[in-house]
Structure 1
């Protein structure tokens, strides 16, 4: 009873106090302040314990699943882009997440694109993102993860999102592949990295998205196969491909040592969106959150129906409530990730979704979340 009261107070305090204060600052500054404060708290045992007590509930086995030999106590994970440098893993592990994605990281330290990196569209529940893969470099980030104490992160599943360095020196295909491979080799030496995500679809970098064609994706995955990573591999997919083109990428992926696909990345086609906010042409970047909702669901459903026996689907895009998480799982996602919702709703969102998923399962008569996967996936029309 006391914990539930604290949880309710915490939710309201973020909405009434913390969020208004953070949103008074620019999105870039607010994100930096949040990361700095959270990273400092992660090294203080009392702070870690307090966050776990206030933000989370008791784990419910009805949400537990195992994929790729990894135990996920809930299907709700943190998407890449929030903890770019692995600075807040101890706190992510205590906020009700079943896993957390660090990165995207690159072989070489990268300053990213000129700021600002973020632009808020609050009415549209979206962020315009143009960070350009800013990160400390995979060597430094993996060292940081390695140095966390066992008490700080325990067995919390960490996914490392790997991209190619955003640099004019890493534009050609050969150099780009070498950049990915360098990080994959480093990652396989770190046992705390439970899964590798190959981010082929970041639209905010030099050279665009060179590995979103079947021929070039084939080259990249062949090179990663040759490394023989110890961890399972997922590919972060583009959202702007229509199904025939998307399917061609999946046809390549299933030929390689890839166990999952993460669907999907940022939305690029502003002209096709009916945004509720004014978005100046001067604002660079691509959109997260609600604008990605329907397209990601369509791609998830089709992927599940045609490749569900060969690929696990990790669903991303537009999740702000337990109902939306439930809907994405029903479309075919075995695991889901949130990020924009955490910024707009608050750090308690994962715990809220966990609580809501259990209630929705009880309502519908499901005993485990795995029973929900794909029940609403619908066949698409043949072209």
Structure 2
């Protein structure tokens, strides 16, 4: 990691986590993060849900909630970037404090509650996006909405022309009863409605579904079948957890979703079970606890065609994106895989 980045991280860790995040966004807007050359190779380049990716290492939603730093993020070594979550109307989210570092566990707990500028303002920023990157949007619902399923449709209608993929987020633990939409009947209808809105855009925009890690094997199978039957193009596993496995530190008991290193095993087990359930019908994207090339590789071997990270950036900085992609390339070469696709699911049995 660059010395300058280490020093910046040390300074950021001395202030409130949410203020530190805002400072990071402002630094990127001011051009204080150097660009890196795109990390790619014949092994890393891949195609997932119709998206051509220069490498399979993506940025998860939550870092750039309001699409404010698309250019710098595209130039940071990621193969794809997801912004949001966006809701139809602006909302402040839950009261502060709502973000907590668990440095001892290299983890975080958040209970933001979909704080964002609203779909219309985010759409205006997306309209000016760079053309040389793959950019997606995480779709959410307003806390006070009386028809949350309709909210996902409204966000897609507002922003869909400016993005390369959209993720239906029904798995955030920080909006009351949102996870109820993961039930088979509610999920099937929701996905059908969003698919219809996508089709009305007149373009084949890939639709992803992001699920929770706190699911039983039966629920995983039901979600897989319902989502695929309704027309989903890929599944993202997983969001943050309500469990506190291996979480340490004075904030470990705070309410909210846990992310980072303690989530790795739980989310990877869900990913492997999901891989078995989908049986190749749709690709999967692995998220949860990735902080190294070895972690990313483990997700791919468990069944992921691509991966995403976020919390690890709190401790490792944006340079992690290129480091992980470069390390992943070496691991694929070491094990004799000609490309990422060949490695997908090759070690799934270890997690079942």
2:192 aligns to what SS in structure 1? Answer: helix
Deviations 1:208-264 (A, max 9, x none): 422021121122112113223431100000111111112111111111121100000
Judged with a 3 Å threshold, the aligned counterparts in structure 2 of structure 1 residues 299 and 147 are, in CA distance, closer, same or farther, namely same
Larger radius of gyration: 1
Which position in structure 2 is the counterpart of 1:111?
Answer: 92
1:203 to 163, 173, 180: 173
Q: How does 1:81-96 map to 2 (within 5 A)?
A: 81-96=62-77
In 1, Cα distance between the equivalents of 2:288 and 2:350?
Answer: 21
2:276 aligns to what SS in structure 1? Answer: helix
Whether 1:302 and 2:263 are equivalent positions in the alignment is no
1:133 aligns to what SS in structure 2? Answer: coil
Which position in structure 2 is the counterpart of 1:38?
Answer: 28
1:337 aligns to what SS in structure 2? Answer: strand
Q: How does 1:288-367 map to 2 (within 5 A)?
A: 288-367=259-338
2:143 to 153, 157, 166: 166
In 1, Cα distance between the equivalents of 2:350 and 2:228?
Answer: 20
Relative contact order higher in (CA < 8 Å, ≥ 6 apart): 2
Q: Under a length normalisation based on structure 1, what TM-score does the superposition of the two structures give?
A: 0.87
Whether 1:179 and 2:160 are equivalent positions in the alignment is no
Note if contact 1:297-1:331 (Cα within 8 Å) is conserved in structure 2.
yes
Q: Under a length normalisation based on structure 2, what TM-score does the superposition of the two structures give?
A: 0.94
2:34 to 21, 32, 51: 51
Deviations 1:147-167 (A, max 9, x none): 24xxxx223111110011122
Note if contact 2:195-2:207 (Cα within 8 Å) is conserved in structure 1.
no
In 1, Cα distance between the equivalents of 2:318 and 2:189?
Answer: 39
The Cα RMSD (Å) is: 1.8
Note if contact 1:56-1:348 (Cα within 8 Å) is conserved in structure 2.
no
In 2, Cα distance between the equivalents of 1:74 and 1:212?
Answer: 30
Deviations 1:102-133 (A, max 9, x none): 10111111111111121000111110111110
In 1, Cα distance between the equivalents of 2:70 and 2:336?
Answer: 34
Q: How does 1:132-171 map to 2 (within 5 A)?
A: 132-148=113-129, 153-167=130-144, 170=145
Unaligned stretches of 5+ in structure 1? 1-7, 42-46
2:299 aligns to what SS in structure 1? Answer: helix
In 2, Cα distance between the equivalents of 1:178 and 1:164?
Answer: 8
Note if contact 2:39-2:54 (Cα within 8 Å) is conserved in structure 1.
no
**Bigger mean CA offset, 17-26 vs 359-368:** 359-368
Deviations 1:56-104 (A, max 9, x none): 4653232001223321000000001110000111011111100000101
2:4 to 13, 23, 34: 13
Which position in structure 1 is the counterpart of 2:188?
Answer: 218
In 1, Cα distance between the equivalents of 2:74 and 2:124?
Answer: 18
1:347 aligns to what SS in structure 2? Answer: coil
Which position in structure 2 is the counterpart of 1:372?
Answer: 343
Note if contact 2:220-2:273 (Cα within 8 Å) is conserved in structure 1.
no
In 2, Cα distance between the equivalents of 1:58 and 1:257?
Answer: 32
In 2, Cα distance between the equivalents of 1:324 and 1:58?
Answer: 18
Shift of 1:145: 1.3
Unaligned stretches of 5+ in structure 2? none
Note if contact 1:164-1:177 (Cα within 8 Å) is conserved in structure 2.
yes
Deviations 1:162-199 (A, max 9, x none): 011122xx1x4xx1111111111123332xx0001000
Note if contact 1:235-1:262 (Cα within 8 Å) is conserved in structure 2.
yes
Whether 1:239 and 2:213 are equivalent positions in the alignment is yes
Which position in structure 1 is the counterpart of 2:43?
Answer: 62
